[in-house]
Amino acid sequence: AQTVTQSQPEMSVQEAETVTLSCTYDTSESDYYLFWYKQPPSRQMILVIRQEAYKQQNATENRFSVNFQKAAKSFSLKISDSQLGDAAMYFCAYHSGGYQKVTFGTGTKLQVIP
Amino acid sequence: EAGVAQSPRYKIIEKRQSVAFWCNPISGHATLYWYQQILGQGPKLLIQFQNNGVVDDSQLPKDRFSAERLKGVDSTLKIQPAKLEDSAVYLCASSKERGINLNTIYFGEGSWLTVV
């Protein structure tokens, strides 16, 4: 079974600075997708960024980018120019392309300090 | 494109009572998920549908939880009888298997359940 590990329960960053959230996963599959979701106190899960395993290029969405290291099974999220609205729980998720099964990490709570 | 719709948003019930949550996925999304998220934890998959068939319900407490997806569109999750430990947010999500953004899961706003 796939596992997703987020080893940082909490992180903090100064406003306008850069922060990196870590995620590692374990799988024997070759076809899969990785996601980062943001969950504010409202509890709605908002997609931040997605990465297809077959793509070597790291995904980027405005201030959000990932460092996808397939061999190391690592998928970290970098938030540049952090804003107060970035404060939330961030979940890393693994989607098994073949079995359509999704596994979430335990989350990292990000605090943005003004 | 309308998002995933869920209702009710909030529900407070006494233990041993029953409750039902409704979900309408994004149009055209064949896969529908129900997740349970207890405060401070990540989402836990309860049940996954592909069209109106069940793909995975291995973590669904079948003695008290049931779910159905009639006609491969809307879905209902029921809890009967509820226990205190069922207090959580119930997240419905959907995804599609073809085209742009395939396999990306889109979530509804969640249904907050408090069992007292």
**Which residue is listed with tokens 């226990």?**
B83
Cβ(A83)–Cβ(A21) below 8 Å: no
Chain centroid offset of residue B31 CA: 12
Cα separation of B59 and B36, whole Å?
A: 10
Quick check: A87 contacting B, CB < 8 Å? no
Mean predicted lDDT score pLDDT of chain A: 93
Mean pLDDT throughout B70-75?
88
Q: Which of A43, A93, A100 sits opposite B89 (nearest CB)?
A: A43
Residue-wise pLDDT for B18-55, tens only, equals 999 999 999 989 899 999 999 888 899 999 998 889 98
Cβ neighbours of B21 (radius 10 Å) = 23
Per-residue pLDDT at B43: 92
Residue-by-residue DSSP string for B50-116: ETTEEEE-TTS-TTTEEEE-GGGS-EEEEESS--GGG-EEEEEEEE-SSSTTTT--EE---EEEEE-
pLDDT score for A42: 86
Query: Across the A/B interface, how many CB contacts are shorter than 8 Å?
Result: 52
From A22's Cα to the closest Cα of chain B, the distance in A is 15
Residue with tokens 């949550």: B21
Write the pLDDT tens digit of every residue in A39-82: 998 888 999 999 999 988 999 999 999 999 999 999 999 999 99
Q: Do B101 and A50 touch (CB under 8 A)?
A: yes
B73-109: pLDDT as tens digits:
999 999 999 999 999 999 999 988 766 666 788 999 9
Can you give the pLDDT at residue B1?
Answer: 65
**pLDDT reported for residue A98:** 66
* Burial class of residue A99, CB neighbours in 10 A (0-12, 13-18, 19+): middle
